[in-house]
Amino acid sequence: MSDTRTPATGTDGLAARLRAATDAAHRAAESAPFVTALLDGRISRAGYAALVTQHYFIYETLEQAAEAMRDDPVAGPFVADELTRLPRLAQDLAFLLGPDWQGLIRPNAATQAYRQRLRETCFGWPGGFVAHHYTRYLGDLSGGAIVAASVRRSYGFTTDDGTRFYQFDVAGRGRFKREYRARLDALELGSAEFDRVAEEAVIAFFLNRAVFHELAESTLPAA
């Protein structure tokens, strides 16, 4: 949720250029009222469960794309099993909603639009997959610990239950992020393809912001 803007090694590699191209969109997403309220402890437990629900549907589609792109020479290097979030989200929903959680969840309209974009771009266009993968997982790795700590404090969680989405089995988050950015820098993209990837990453951030906006409408009191 934060820090995908941290510079890569060097100042003009693809990772740093992508960070710069998406900076404004990223800031807009992470400063959304729902995010601010969540970090401030002003979202009800039900509102937090609604966020986890939307994440579940988004990652369900993105991780289906990961399986489809696993052997692609461009997209494949970004498919890392230790990043897979869907099982963790299922654990969180079982904790938050109970054993019948699967019959209780629905994607909201913004999430449905997000998933449709993922279907259109991530299953056949390697650059599109990389754009969406970058905006989601690098942010999860960076801001997840902060969000998890805030959530546990707000709802009195004494274990990782309810926040397992933010737990990663990686040998050091900083090291993993550096390696991820190195993979970005290793991509050989012409200027036109880079522009397409950067534009898609911006779209991903705004789709994410739309999900937050819809959640805020249903969970935050009217101004």
Question: Is 185 a member of any domain?
Answer: yes
Question: Is 167 a member of any domain?
Answer: yes
Query: The domain spanning residue 117 has which CATH number?
Result: 1.20.910.10
With helix as H, strand as E and coil as C, how does the chain read? CCCCCCCCCCCCCHHHHHHHHHHHHHHHHHCCHHHHHHHCCCCCHHHHHHHHHHHHHHHHHHHHHHHHHCCCCCCHHHCCHHHCCHHHHHHHHHHHHCCCHHHCCCCCHHHHHHHHHHHHHCCCCHHHHHHHHHHHHHHHHHHHHHHHHHHHHHHCCCCCCCCHHHCCCCCCHHHHHHHHHHHHHHCCCCHHHHHHHHHHHHHHHHHHHHHHHHHHHHHCCCC
Percentage with pLDDT > 90 across the chain: 80
Question: Is 91 a member of any domain?
Answer: yes
Which residue type occupies 161?
A: D
Question: Is 59 a member of any domain?
Answer: yes
Q: How confident is the model at residue 49 (pLDDT cuts 50, 70, 90)?
A: very high
Q: Which domain holds residue 76?
A: 14-218
The whole-angstrom separation of Cα 4 and Cα 41 is 24
Question: Is 2 a member of any domain?
Answer: no
Question: Is 6 a member of any domain?
Answer: no
Question: Is 9 a member of any domain?
Answer: no
The whole-angstrom separation of Cα 171 and Cα 116 is 33
Residue 10 has pLDDT above 80, yes or no: no
The whole-angstrom separation of Cα 175 and Cα 156 is 31
pLDDT of residue 209: 96
What are the tens digits of pLDDT across the range 144-158? 888 999 999 999 999
pLDDT of residue 172: 85
Mean pLDDT of all residues in the chain?
91
What are the tens digits of pLDDT across the range 59-101? 999 999 999 999 999 999 999 999 999 999 999 999 999 999 9
Question: Is 4 a member of any domain?
Answer: no
Residue 220 has pLDDT above 90, yes or no: no
On the CB side of 74, how many CA atoms lie within 13 Å of its CA?
16
What are the tens digits of pLDDT across the range 97-121? 999 999 999 999 999 999 999 999 9
The whole-angstrom separation of Cα 13 and Cα 184 is 8
**Total domains, the chain:** 1
Percentage with pLDDT > 70 across the chain: 94
Phi-psi region of 74 (alpha: psi -120 to 50; beta: other; left: phi over 0): alpha
pLDDT of residue 5: 38
